[in-house]
Amino acid sequence: MAYNLLKGKRGIIFGALDENSIAWKTAERVHEEGGTFVLTNAPIAMRMGQIKELAEKTGSEIIPADATSEEDLNNLVAKATEILGGKLDFVLHSIGMSVNVRKGRAYTDEKYDFTAKGWDVSALSFHKVMQSLYKADAMNQWGSIVALTYMAAQRTFPDYNDMADNKAYLESVARSFGYFFGKEKQVRVNTISQSPTPTTAGQGVKGFGGFIAYADKMSPLGNATAQDCADYTVSLFSDLTKKVTMQNLFHDGGFSNTGVSQEVIEHFTEE
């Protein structure tokens, strides 16, 4: 169901790779709600994914950008405002990558140049994106910037590896930059801490299938899907959440506040 929540609003969506990705589903929902946007991803991800299909479906243009490159981001911001015909109202940062995870390196055996690369892509890029937007004065008042995170920033999930540190840094950037963006531009900055979601990126984590099942049994409402996350993101882009900023918002069916569930007790109780 569409409510025209984003009618007349313009933005940038980072990280749509394929139809499993949260950014992809969010782009579809934003389009349904009347928003217009440019899509962006790293050139290599664009070759791997199906972003052209999404662009056609939503009437959007694609601007390739490496989110770790200030030059690329400055170019992206300038072109996006030109294409869309004005300042931006929303930005979604949906980017994460760990070279250590990809290469099968344990947390206790990190290769630090891999760590630095993953941190740059997954966390520092959020600061770089916001700094580009801030310096260009590219956001409208009451605009909304959202990044996707995960609860491994607060609690330990052994196989999440160095991505946990990246997410903790990402959430800190949201608070710190959120203060300046709020004070000086009336722009909101929040992170959504999403349930484990079977996206192409998420499935790279070891033991992911078992963990999704566990989280589902632990959450009173069950896991939040990528589609659910797209809906929640739309609400944060809308004018209905104007005073929500510098928050890390758990979107996980109640997992984050559940000590243990009946289903999990039963699983470990021998008859």
Does 98 count as an annotated binding residue? no
Interatomic CA distance for residues 78 and 133, integer angstroms:
9
- Cα dihedral 232→236→239→240 (10° resolution): 60
Catalytic annotation, pick one of 107, 134, 150, 214: 150
Does 15 count as an annotated binding residue? yes
Interatomic CA distance for residues 270 and 138, integer angstroms:
60
271 contact partners, CB below 8 Å, separation of at least 6: none
Does 11 count as an annotated binding residue? no
Does 95 count as an annotated binding residue? yes
Active-site residue, 112 included: no
Active-site residue, 160 included: yes
Q: Tell the residue number behind the tokens 């009451």, with chain if given.
A: 142
CA angle 158, 163, 166 (to 5 degrees): 130
Catalytic annotation, pick one of 3, 107, 134, 160: 160
Interatomic CA distance for residues 180 and 75, integer angstroms:
23
Q: Tell the residue number behind the tokens 């996006």, with chain if given.
A: 80
Does 21 count as an annotated binding residue? yes
Question: Catalytic residue positions?
Answer: 150, 160
Binding-site residues for NAD(+), in ranges, read 15, 21-22, 95, 167
Binding-site residues, in ranges, read 15, 21-22, 95, 167
